[in-house]
């Protein structure tokens, strides 16, 4: 099962998100009210470590384990960054979670979160359905 390794990385990711309380509705409230450095420290240090890593991968032209060149496709800007980004941000602040924390909270013993996950699936489906009619 070649995908088991990604399950394992997910376990570490979910464990860290939960133990550092980034999955907490309270921490998201605190972040958007600028009342603590905690969430900014997490996101900021993650980006710094991620950026240094990506630079090193590119600089040394490292290859993936299956010996493929490592490729990072560029994300194209469109109006979705603005409209979708704003809608996502409102949902993030309202529910106090984003997709990773939703899965982590379900595992952490909050079964009612399944309702938020199903709603997020519905939102994804409705976007997919309306996509041809939305500005991009």
Partner 1 sequence: MQWIFEPWPWYVSGPIIGLTVPILLILGNKLLGISSSLRHTCAAIAPAKIPFLQYNWKEESWNLFFAAGILVGGFIGGVLLSNGQPVAISAETIRDIQALGIQSFDGLIPSDVYNWETLFSARGFVVIVLGGFMIGFGSRYAGGCTSGHAIMGLSSLQWASLVTVIFFFIGGLLMTWIIAPWLYTVF
Residues 22-81 that bind partner 1 (CB under 8 A): 22-30, 32-33, 35-39, 41-51, 53-54, 56-57, 62, 64-66, 68, 70-78, 80-81
Q: Other C-beta atoms within 10 Å of 22: how many?
A: 21
Question: Of 66, 50, 70, 51, which is closest to residue 5 (Cα–Cα)?
Answer: 66
User: Which phi and psi (to 5°) does residue 22 adopt?
Assistant: -70, -15
Residue 9 in contact with partner 1, rule: CB under 8 A: yes
User: Which phi and psi (to 5°) does residue 67 adopt?
Assistant: 65, 30
User: Closest distance between partner 1 and the C-beta of residue 89, in Å?
Assistant: 2
Residue 3 in contact with partner 1, rule: CB under 8 A: yes
Scan residues 109-128 and list those touching partner 1 (CB under 8 A).
Answer: 109-110, 112-113, 115-128
């Amino acid at each position: 099962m070649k995908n088991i390794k990604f399950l394992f990385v997910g376990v570490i990711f979910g464990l860290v998100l939960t133990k550092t309380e980034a999955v907490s509705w309270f921490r998201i409230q605190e972040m958007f009210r600028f009342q603590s450095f905690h969430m900014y420290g997490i996101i900021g240090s993650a980006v710094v470590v991620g950026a240094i890593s990506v630079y090193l991968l590119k600089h040394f032209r490292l290859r993936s384990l299956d010996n493929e060149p490592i490729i990072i496709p560029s994300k194209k800007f469109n109006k979705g960054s603005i409209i979708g980004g704003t809608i996502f941000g409102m949902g993030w602040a309202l529910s106090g979670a984003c997709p990773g924390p939703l899965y982590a909270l379900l595992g952490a013993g909050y079964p009612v979160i399944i309702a938020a996950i199903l709603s997020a699936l519905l939102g994804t489906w409705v976007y997919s359905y309306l996509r041809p009619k939305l500005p991009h």
